[in-house]
Structure 1
Amino acid sequence: MSDTVIDKTPNIIIDPTKVKGDRKRRMTVGEIVAFVLLILLTCTMLFPVIFMISTALKTSKEMLQFPPTIIPETFAWDNFKTLFTNDEIKFGILYKNSIIVAGLSVVGTVFSSALVAYGFSRYRAKGKKIMFMLMISTMMLPYPAVMIPQFILFSNLGWMNTFLPLIVPTFLGSAYQIFLLRQFFMSLPNELYDSGKIDGCSEFRLFWKIALPLSGPALATVAIFTFIWTWNDLLGPVLYLSSQEKFTLPVGLAAMMSSKFRIAPYNLLMCASIMTTLPVVAIFASAQKHFTEGIVLTGIK
């Protein structure tokens, strides 16, 4: 008697028209309306950027035409060259000053905030929660409340018309950044630190070799926030800087609107705005993955 295998699997007949219909689901009226509204909203938000680029590529004569044109009749690419070669604007010096202030501020804020956040997340001590709450409460103080005492302090130190008042405070930590990094450090398991202690690591080496390498997304988030805030800061440089050779980009852009020019050079101003925006866009685009990951991970606790 031979063994026979009987296939009892039922034959399933698939109607190709139904599959095709499922794949090509028709959009409802509400979805179409929402899609159209999103397109209109996107175009509305992009219009200032388009107008900025258009004005930057116009000649001085076409810039004053009414009604204004969106596409320039002649693309004046020399406006960017004029921006950097104009002796009154000195855009190259402004750019260099902003890079120095923003770069050192990022280094100071990331290192000092990470060090303080590591201490708040690792150590147990009496009064630690009170100290942490006092630090967090400083975020509720508006800047004008501390602006005058800081101005008097830096003036007595002889730091006026230097970059020191803009850079040195960043090496003392930032309450918001400390809170952000503390939340991330608290999510790291203690077993990592225990294994490091077994290998003979000191406390600073635990911070440098274990905590920091694992907190890349959070550090990237802090660096991006600090760079944007410092790069766009106008009030601080206006308070402490008095010579044009020390001005940063926000102060320089505001000075271009002054009465020094008979007619404000809006085409050069738009060129400067494009050049000012490019570093922020480039940094955010290159670190977008780490930025979003850092925002998500710091909320785990």
Structure 2
Amino acid sequence: MATLATTLNEKQQSKKRQEAPAARAFRATPFTYGTLLIVAAVLTAPLVFVGSIALSSDATVNSGSFTVIPREFHWDNFSRVFGTELPVGTFLLNSVLISLFSVAGQVLSSGLVGYAFARLRAPGKNTMFLIVIATMMIPTQITMIPQFILFRDLGWVNTFLPLIVPNFFSNAFNVFLVRQFVSRLPSQLDEAAMMDGLGFFGIYRRIMFPMLRPVLIAIGIFTLTHTWGDFMGPLIYLNDESKMPLALGVQYITATSQAGQAPPWNLVMVGSILLALPMILVYYIGQKYLYEMDISGGSAGVK
């Protein structure tokens, strides 16, 4: 027994000696922290510059003497932007409406379609899934004109419908996420639910939907980020200022200056902050769900 204990002790010590160099290799050093600080400063500098311009006075804008570190703090610019001749408040409300409906459409449709590809049995299902995934390789510019002609013939131009309705028909990338997640979940869950008398919609609503929460929240964040900052879609389909979202309205602020006069860059940067701040808050609140999303093992739904 003593010999066995000695042998086990020697093996443990040998294992610790082998792991020690690896642990030291990944230990942070002052050089590591210094490098991270430099990289963080470089990445943060443009954001600080945006805030500095947003807090500048009109005289600084006209002279163009901007500085990276703020020297002026005109907080009234954040209220002045809503008093311009452009309906900035309406722009903000339009962005909220378009984004919320788009998120709802993507979450509902992607969850159902991804679950169907993962669980339902149908002839040609795998081929259809490959076709859906292949659509990710088609550039948006190729389908832009046919889509515009289709929506024009439907009478949807200058409405929110072309920006919202396509989201209720899912997205190839989101379908892939849901399908991969569901395919890793035990099929015994479905079988037990079927024995209790549940159909596919009942299984999805009562069992799969709660487990898919991290993936669906991640899809909602991805969709919200894309829709909130979308510029090309509203530029193509919307004509009235009263229907434009904030992403397009910020560009119109730069076009309100007279000939030869500098645009109100301080108000433009205020609009840019209003455009970026909600996305930062959404990511901060929902980042734990992004980290929990594990499409390789399907374990996030049962944590």
1:112-123 correspondence to structure 2 within 5 Å: 112-123=109-120
Pair 1:215 & 2:212 matched: yes
How far did residue 72 of structure 1 move? Answer: 4.2
How far did residue 124 of structure 1 move? Answer: 2.0
Query: 2: distance between equivalents of 1:69 and 1:209?
Result: 56
Indicate the residue corresponding to 2:30 in structure 1: 32
1:243-282 correspondence to structure 2 within 5 Å: 243-258=240-255, 260-261=257-258, 262-282=261-281
1:135-150 correspondence to structure 2 within 5 Å: 135-150=132-147
Unaligned runs of 5+ in 2: 1-23, 299-303
Query: 1: distance between equivalents of 2:72 and 2:216?
Result: 45
The size of the alignment, in residue pairs, is: 274
Aligned with 1:174 (options 171, 175, 199)? 171
Unaligned runs of 5+ in 1: 1-25
Indicate the residue corresponding to 2:3 in structure 1: none
Amino acid at match of 2:123: K
Higher helix share: 2
Q: Work out the percentage of aligned pairs sharing the same amino acid.
A: 38
How far did residue 193 of structure 1 move? Answer: 1.4
Pair 1:45 & 2:43 matched: yes
Per-residue Cα deviation, 1:231-283 (whole angstroms, up to 9, x for no partner): 11111111100110011111111112225443211111111111111110111
How far did residue 70 of structure 1 move? Answer: 4.0
Indicate the residue corresponding to 1:10 in structure 2: none
Per-residue Cα deviation, 1:204-232 (whole angstroms, up to 9, x for no partner): 11111111111111111111111101111
Q: Structure 1 residues 278 and 130 mapped into 2: Cα distance closer, same or farther (>3 Å)?
A: same
Indicate the residue corresponding to 1:97 in structure 2: 94
Alignment TM-score, normalising by the size of structure 2: 0.85
Secondary structure of 1:150's counterpart equals helix
Query: 2: distance between equivalents of 1:141 and 1:97?
Result: 29
Per-residue Cα deviation, 1:94-138 (whole angstroms, up to 9, x for no partner): 000011111000000110111111110001222111100001000
Aligned with 1:158 (options 155, 158, 176)? 155
Q: Highest Rg: 1 or 2?
A: 1
Indicate the residue corresponding to 2:52 in structure 1: 54
**Which stretch shows the higher mean deviation, 220-229 or 259-268?**
259-268
1:280-291 correspondence to structure 2 within 5 Å: 280-291=279-290
**Which stretch shows the higher mean deviation, 136-145 or 48-57?**
48-57
Amino acid at match of 1:124: R
Q: Structure 1 residues 66 and 248 mapped into 2: Cα distance closer, same or farther (>3 Å)?
A: closer
